[in-house]
Amino acid sequence: DTAVSQTPKYLVTQMGNDKSIKCEQNLGHDTMYWYKQDSKKFLKIMFSYNNKELIINETVPNRFSPKSPDKAHLNLHINSLELGDSAVYFCASRGQNTIYFGEGSWLTVV
């Protein structure tokens, strides 16, 4: 069973579109995250939720809106996609002293 799963794995879309990436964890953790990996492989946190409450928002444009319907799910919705949004987006969840990552979602905006 995959501990942190995210869909879709690959997404190619046009500028200006709206898209969502879904994430689910079956680890029973309270805290989940979204990270962005840019073309130089640099990883930066975007958001963190604890038990459905937003606790970290790292100056991400408000075109990005996370939604947590329950503590096992943290979805990322992106409005009006721009070329610069092309990246790999990783969902993660936190257990005791360790953070587990999903397989990543490769987003390409054309």
Partner 1 sequence: GNSVTQMEGPVTLSEEAFLTINCTYTATGYPSLFWYVQYPGEGLQLLLKATKADDKGSNKGFEATYRKETTSFHLEKGSVQVSDSAVYFCALLYNQGGKLIFGQGTELSVKP
Q: Which residues bind partner 1 (CB under 8 A)?
A: 31, 33, 35, 40-45, 48, 50, 55-56, 90, 92, 94, 97-104
- Under a CB-based contact definition with an 8 Å cutoff, are residues 95 and 29 in contact? yes
Task: Compute the least distance from the CB of residue 88 to partner 1, in Å.
Answer: 8
Task: Compute the least distance from the CB of residue 81 to partner 1, in Å.
Answer: 22
Residue by residue, DSSP assigns 18-61 as -EEEEEEE-S--SEEEEEEE-TT--EEEEEEEETTEEEEE-S--
Q: Which is nearer to partner 1, 19 or 103 (CB)?
A: 103
The span from the CA of 24 to the CA of 72, in Å, is: 6
Q: Which is nearer to partner 1, 30 or 77 (CB)?
A: 30
Q: Which is nearer to partner 1, 21 or 35 (CB)?
A: 35
Q: Which is nearer to partner 1, 40 or 70 (CB)?
A: 40
Task: Compute the least distance from the CB of residue 75 to partner 1, in Å.
Answer: 18
Cα–Cα distance list, 62 to 2, 48, 78, 81 (Å): 30, 15, 9, 12
Task: Compute the least distance from the CB of residue 95 to partner 1, in Å.
Answer: 10
The span from the CA of 36 to the CA of 45, in Å, is: 6
